[in-house]
Structure 1
Amino acid sequence: MTQLPVIGAHMSIAGGYYKAVESAADLAMSSVQLFCKNNNQWRAKEITDKDVSLFQEALAKHNVGSPLCHASYLINLASPKPELWEKSVEGLRIEMLRCEQLGIPNLVFHPGAHMEATLEEGIARIVKAIDELHQQLPDCPVTLLLETTAGQGSSIGHKFEHLQAILEGVQEGERVAVCLDTCHIFAAGYPISDEKDFKATFKDFHKLIGFDKLRAIHLNDSKKDLGSRVDRHDHIGEGKIGPEAFGHMLNDRRFKKIPMYLETPKGEEDGVLNDAKNLAKLHSLIK
């Protein structure tokens, strides 16, 4: 019997964390990504025991697994500004604790932007921040996932070498892994549409990072061209990447056990939810 990939999407937590699970289950998703707080604010509303129980009960009831939390976009561990760096470390610490409370094993975050500092200085600050978090939370079971980025501005993570340097630099490397975003790596200049290019790109990924470090995948097409370094997500098969790349990924045994999450545009068209349309497209590509 062929093992189907684990596919879900980022879902809203409006009304409670369990609502994200229910929304995923309504579309027969097998995984779900969510924010564990308002992603555009530093402050966080307290998570109650009822919040936790409703969330865990919903996961079990609907057989939705691999819950993944996406950290706030405000966090910048590479910032050369001491106040923002310290605020970012504290912000990520709080999110790690919230994930632990909810029983979410992985927390994905954007590595950060080095701004007016150098790339090397930015990477060093990220490493220092992660080490500090691990020292502050020695027993926290949550794994931090560095997300590949498109390379807008001075963002770090648009080259596999950036993530390799961070992974090799942190003291407790076993507590850090990677989340790959298809739109981001394409916009960063990694071709994946053609099968030959797909194989070459992931040969580089395996050499520099390793598939053992790949814990999650964001499935997004790109509105912008290869190497544009502009992060704009599109519906599966409708952007510049095209459907072939997603077919390669969904049918590659190396990705079978890695949970995948759509972050494609929400809303609906002609009475059909965009999430449902994108899921159907993905399932049509599975051989």
Structure 2
Amino acid sequence: MPSLGIHVSSAGPILKIFERAREVGAEAFQFFLRSPRAWKAKSISQWEIEEFIKLKGSWGPLMVHAPYLINLASSHPELRSKSIEVFLEELKICELLKIEYYNFHPGTAKDVSQEEGLRNIIKGLEEIFSSFIPSYTCVLFENTAGERGDLGKNTQELKRLIEPFKGLKVGVCIDTCHAFAYGYAINTKEGFEAFKGEIDRSIGLDKVKAIHCNDSKVPLGAKKDRHEHIGHGYIGLEGFRLFLKDPYFSQLPYYLETPKVDDWDRKNLQTLRKLLSESH
């Protein structure tokens, strides 16, 4: 059975995230270690680290999402250096906190060709892993919608990025909205099976470790990253039903990144649980 979770705010003391996730009935959760649009890190005391590890024992897998500012694809020396520095800093904190997954957007080819961007991401990760290799935390490449030069948008690019690091703790987090917006018709049985088959042939199903569970505000192939509540977007309930009844995907942790409005985290979790009960 999957662990069904949400993205929670990490504002204030870090230990508050457990309470926020519990309030809506989540079984797992994702959070940021710092503001997603800031380089400056939040300080975490040794006491908080110890308490965090005690508290997390009763939860499903936890995921930290890398800040949006990180761009390993860039050739701009200052941005590249800062991206590697922050990635490394956060990965070490994840290892200290016994976080299962560190998820990041591979990068955006703004000032370079897509080919050069892919090479830059690989070089950046080689630099990171030459400095620190996590033994607990698994680094996840998140697929993108292909908006504005975002890389990692299809299985071929994900395969290219993962292959050099196969001996390390790396994997993929599939974002349902991004996959659909890129052009994978995961809302139909045929499209879902084709997507799953493509993953299996290119990167291997076993490399998919988690699901970002989001409906899409935009139609198939629109290549825009716009999340919607489950069943209220263009993917619709059938797409999520297909994931939740699949023998492999139904065993993974799911993390909602749907709009933070009213009590929608709880409602979206209830929708997923209803689909899950119908599938088993």
Q: Is the 8 A contact 1:188 1:227 kept in 2?
A: yes
TM-score (norm 1): 0.93
Shift of 1:148: 0.3
Structure 1 residues 59 and 138, CA gap change in structure 2 (3 angstroms)? closer
Matched residue, 1:100: 95
Aligned mate of 1:71, from 54, 66, 73: 66
Classify 1:77/1:211 alpha carbon distance in 2 versus 1 (closer, same or farther; 3 Å): same
Shift of 1:32: 0.8
Q: For 1:83 and 1:90, how far apart are their aligned partners in 2? A: 11
* CA shift for structure 1 position 212: 1.0
What is the deviation of 1:140? 5.1
Instruction: Give deviations 1:212-242, integer Å, cap 9, x for gaps.
Output: 1111110000001111110000000000110
Q: Which amino acid aligns with 1:59?
A: K
Residues 1-287 of structure 1 aligned to structure 2 (within 5 Å): 4-60=1-57, 63-138=58-133, 141-170=136-165, 173-268=167-262, 273-286=263-276, 287=278
Q: Deviations over 1:27-60 (max 9, x none)?
A: 2221111111221111112210122133223323
C-alpha separation in 2, matches of 1:144 and 1:192:
25
Q: Which amino acid is 2:72 matched to? A: L
Note if contact 1:107-1:145 (Cα within 8 Å) is conserved in structure 2. yes
1:52-95 deviation line (CA, Å, top 9, x unaligned): 133223323xx212011000000000002122111111110011
Q: Deviations over 1:151-190 (max 9, x none)?
A: 11111011111110011134x5432211110000100111
**1:248-274 per-position Cα deviation (integer Å, ceiling 9, x unaligned):** 111111113211100001121xxxx10
Identity %: 40
Tell me the number of residue pairs that the alignment of Structure 1 and Structure 2 aligns.
277
Structure 2 CA distance, aligned partners of 1:107 and 1:72? 11
Mark the runs of 5 or more structure 2 residues left unpaired by the alignment. none
8 A contact 1:79–1:113 mirrored in 2: yes
- CA distance in 2 between partners of 1:256 and 1:224 (Å): 25
Q: Is the 8 A contact 2:109 2:149 kept in 1?
A: yes
- Structure 1 CA distance, aligned partners of 2:148 and 2:167? 27
The 1-side partners of 2:140 and 2:193 are apart by 23
Deviations, residues 117-146 of structure 1 (Å, cap 9, x unaligned):
111111111111111111101455322110
Report the AA paired with residue 14 of structure 1. A
C-alpha distance in structure 1 between counterparts of 2:209 and 2:168, whole Å:
12
**1:105, 1:193 → 2: CA distance?**
29
Distance 1:217 1:139 in 2: 21
Contact 2:33/2:90 (8 A) holds in 1: yes
Report the Cα offset of residue 24 of structure 1.
Answer: 1.5
RMSD of equivalent CA atoms? 1.4
User: Structure 1 residue 192: deviation in Å?
Assistant: 0.6
